[in-house]
Chain A
Amino acid sequence: MSSLRRDPTVLWRRSGRRVVLLPAGCAEPIVLDGIGRLVWELLDEPTAREDLVDVLGEHFDESRDQVEVDLEPFLEELTGSGALTVGA
């Protein structure tokens, strides 16, 4: 089961309902809002992808399949930027 975690080298700040991130590979900061901020908060500790999907499904009262579809591009972008790392 793969787990997701914040990359420890990311610089970040909470700004109200948003989170501003500066991953090592990004020239400019990224702003997370709404579900993005929620995911960031949930990944305070390494979290299994399946658990993340369950929590978000419950929070937004959505099916697991729908959450998977919505979450996929977001997670890809954050892992691609170096903000998140995927562990075993």
Chain B
Amino acid sequence: MMPDTGVPASGDDVTVDVDRLVRRVAVHGLPAAPPIRDVLDAPLDDDRFGELLRRTERHRVTGHLMDAVESGALPATASQAEQVAARHEAWCASMLLLERELLQVIDRLEANSIEVVVLKGSAAAHLGYPDPALRLFGDNDILVRSHQIDRALHVLAAAGYARRSVPARPDFDRRFGKGATLYSAASTELDVHRSLVFGSFGFAVDLDELWDATTTFRLAGRELTALDSDAALLHAMFHAALGDAQPQLGVLRDLAQRTTSPAHDPERVVALARRWRAMPVVKRAVSLLEAHLEVRVDGPIAVAAAAYRPTSTESRAVASYVAADRSFTAMVLASLPYLPSMRERVAFLRAVAMPSTDFIATRGIVGGLAWWRQGLRRLARGGRR
């Protein structure tokens, strides 16, 4: 039951730091999370509450706001509680429709003998949280095997999914891509992954080992495959550390949820990270978690992260994802040391510097030669903008 605190909006809450409040909401429910009432001891006025609600939606932590309001951890008026309930209900409806679509996608792919692992979204909600309603998502993410990605995209295209950009070369998805983003006729987004991330750290992931690091969860009576706790924790680290320069709080909450859960084996997480050359990713993820959510990671992961000293190659690779002046060319150059052979490096450079005419046409570039020259110039500048 939603609490009706009976307390009018305080009206004198101009000193309340909404940004800090959103961060408190983002860690609500974690073991040893600091109380929200340290930041807010009476309901906000309606304008500021509206701002809080908008920010939690932007950061995808409205499930935790709902839980905080419902449990009384965050003071709110009855009207404010109803606003949160209405928004959360809308998110739930949207997520259920996405889960139905996910099941249909998996049906189609499996009917074509294509294996699927569910990533993030629904899998994180059902496996990572005590109540899946806490974890919001706005799209579906699946992993398919490299040798099956072309066929998977073909099957999904036949089912009405459209891709807004073509790959640089016909074999790019299978050899070098992270995957492809597709859109249904209803404009829902489906990310079809081949690896966990594009570029350096994506190339270093042992995809066979990733496919072995799986578990199952039940959805609508079906058994679906997802990454196991350790691989899912590493994936959460990739997402937090190499995604947006300022990570979404929901992404960091996923990471906090996984690191504070006894379900993972920290020694195995570190071992996987070392084999996948991902210790710089782990180090940055642990640091972001502490900086943004004040969540400290303990144990072997924290020890390994603190002791790790990235090489200059690794630092360049991390910067190519998150630096303020990052560029595609810098990412290409930083990725080269992560490719296993000179042949692969040449093929990768050729794909990005001399893409197919279809790719050039979709980018609105008139002549293939112009694109090639532009690519050469960018590479010659050493990746600078």
Contact = CB atoms under 8 A, between A and B. Distances in A.
Interface of A: 8-18, 20-22, 24, 28-29, 31
B369 interface: no
B220 A11 contact: yes
A27 B221 CA distance: 19
A54 to B, nearest CB: 23
7 contacts: A15-B88, A15-B89, A17-B1, A17-B70, A20-B96, A29-B96, A31-B89
A32 B1 CA distance: 14
Contacts of B131: 14
B219 A11 contact: yes
B156 interface: no
A16 B2 contact: yes
Contacts of B220: 8-11, 24
B221 A8 contact: yes
Given A9-B221, A10-B220, A22 B85 contact: no
Contacts of B84: 16
Contacts of A10: 220
A16 B96 contact: no
B92 A15 contact: yes
A20 B221 contact: no
Contacts of B133: 13-15
Nearest to A12: B96
Contacts of A18: 85, 89
Given A14-B131, A14-B133, A15-B66, A20 B93 contact: yes
Contacts of A9: 220-221
Interface in B82-102: 84-85, 88-89, 92-93, 95-97, 99-100
A9 B97 CA distance: 13
Given A8-B220, A8-B221, A13 B85 contact: no
A22 B132 contact: no
Contacts of A22: 93, 96-97, 99-100
A24 B96 CA distance: 11
B219 A16 contact: no
Contacts of A31: 89, 93
A11 B99 contact: yes
Given A8-B221, A13-B95, 20 more contacts: A9-B220, A10-B220, A11-B219, A11-B220, A13-B96, A13-B133, A15-B85, A15-B89, A16-B2, A16-B66, A16-B70, A16-B89, A17-B1, A17-B85, A18-B85, A20-B92, A22-B97, A28-B93, A31-B89, A31-B93
A20 B136 CA distance: 14
Interface string B53-89: 0000000000000100010000000000000110011
Nearest to A10: B220
A29 B1 CA distance: 22
Contact of A16 (B85, B95, B99): B85
B307 to A, nearest CB: 42
Q: Which of A16, A17, A20, A31 has the most CB of B within 10 A?
A: A16
Nearest to B94: A29
A8 to B, nearest CB: 4
A17 to B, nearest CB: 6
B103 to A, nearest CB: 8
A72 to B, nearest CB: 26
B102 to A, nearest CB: 10
Interface in B192-227: 219-221
B380 to A, nearest CB: 53
Contacts of B221: 8-9
A10 B184 CA distance: 23
Interface in B18-71: 66, 70
Nearest to B91: A15
B132 to A, nearest CB: 6
A8 B223 CA distance: 12
B100 A17 contact: no
A44 B95 CA distance: 21
Nearest to B1: A17
A31 B1 CA distance: 16
